[in-house]
Amino acid sequence: MYSREYVFMRKVATDPRHLVLMSRSTEHPHCPIQKKYVRVLNYKSNLVLKPHTSLDEVGTKLWDLVLRCKGKRMLSLGCN
């Protein structure tokens, strides 16, 4: 089994009640595919953070939706 390698772009969006991190796979001229890794070519992730009170306070709810290779979706909910 080879180690996986992710090359992706990330965008951050906020409003007063949410923080959203959006990522997707990309290519970069300074990061060519190497034989010692398996490059993940089709990766998309959306992470939504919603605070219990405000973004400045401790404690959030977390929704993570990931679209992995072959179109399989994974939804997980966590709280901290």
CA nearest 68: which of 76, 77, 58? 76
Query: pTM, whole model, 2 decimals?
Result: 0.63
CA nearest 39: which of 25, 52, 49, 50? 25
Q: Is the pLDDT of residue 77 over 80?
A: no
Q: What is the pLDDT of residues 31-72, one digit of tens each?
A: 999 889 999 999 888 888 777 776 666 766 665 554 444 444
Domain count across the chain: 1
The predicted pLDDT at position 21 comes to 87
Residue 28 confidence class, pLDDT cut points 50, 70, 90? very high
Ranges assigned E (strand) in the chain? 3-6, 8-15, 18-25, 37-40, 44-51, 60-67, 73-79
Determine the structural domain holding residue 24 and report its residue range: 3-79
Q: Is the pLDDT of residue 2 over 70?
A: yes
